[in-house]
Chain A
């Protein structure tokens, strides 16, 4: 157990639907990162939050959004789902905002869009 908790572990839904993935970072970690891993794209950075504020955006689609709440948990919202959104979504956390860039990853949420 890495200390980063992601729910749900598995999710099956239909095209056009909307889902929310949740991440609880390790205790004391202020930064949260979201990554998408599909078979053909590998691990792609989506977005990062630090202490409630958005810090960096990667290859995140406009249909996707995220936020980090005051208790530091984060949610990734995926809407108007397409077949190509089927992937593993990983959340990672990091202690602070400087120093060695060691990320701790959760076990992931597997999304299947039918």
Chain B
């Protein structure tokens, strides 16, 4: 799978938007971009995923660059509860399912939210 690069840490203020960047310059046309997050003392939690178009759900928005070499996870109004490690993961859609369904996690970005 193609590799992703994320900043080690970021800080945000409560109730302000947060933009978490992810670079994936070697992404292939069949790679989905997934975001998961891990709150302290909890298991990872799915946030959002997309292929080419920007995506929105109740948790966040995913903005994908036109060349797909980078993406940004957007939390519209950060809360203290959003303090977590955010993982950007690429997964080849041709390898979904079966023996290739597992996700490979990197180091992620540790987001701190200040009140």
Which chain B residue has the least Cβ–Cβ distance from A98? B97
B46 touches A104 (CB 8 A): yes
Expressed in whole angstroms, the minimum distance between the Cβ of B23 and any Cβ of chain A is 18
Number of interface residues of B (CB under 8 A): 24
Given that A2-B43, A92-B43, A104-B46 are known contacts, is A48 also in contact with B105, CB under 8 Å in the complex?
no
Query: Which residues of the partner chain B approach A99 to less than 8 Å between Cβ atoms?
Result: 96-97
**Which residues of B pack against A, CB within 8 Å?**
32, 34, 36, 42-46, 49, 87, 91, 96-108
A100 touches B99 (CB 8 A): no
Query: Which residues of the partner chain A approach B96 to less than 8 Å between Cβ atoms?
Result: 98-101
B101 touches A97 (CB 8 A): yes
Number of interface residues of A (CB under 8 A): 29
Expressed in whole angstroms, the minimum distance between the Cβ of A47 and any Cβ of chain B is 9
C-alpha gap A37/B97 in the complex (Å): 23
Contact stretch, chosen from A11-19, A76-84, A105-113? A105-113
Encode contact with B along A6-31: 1 for CB under 8 Å, 0 otherwise: 00000000000000000000000001
A102 touches B43 (CB 8 A): no
Complex partner residue of B49 from A42, A50, A98, A102, CB under 8 angstroms = A102
In the assembled complex, 26 residue pairs joining A and B whose CB atoms fall closer than 8 Å, in A order, are: A2-B45, A31-B101, A33-B101, A33-B102, A42-B107, A42-B108, A43-B44, A43-B105, A45-B102, A45-B104, A48-B102, A50-B98, A55-B101, A56-B98, A58-B102, A92-B43, A92-B44, A94-B101, A96-B97, A97-B98, A100-B32, A101-B96, A102-B46, A102-B49, A103-B103, A106-B43
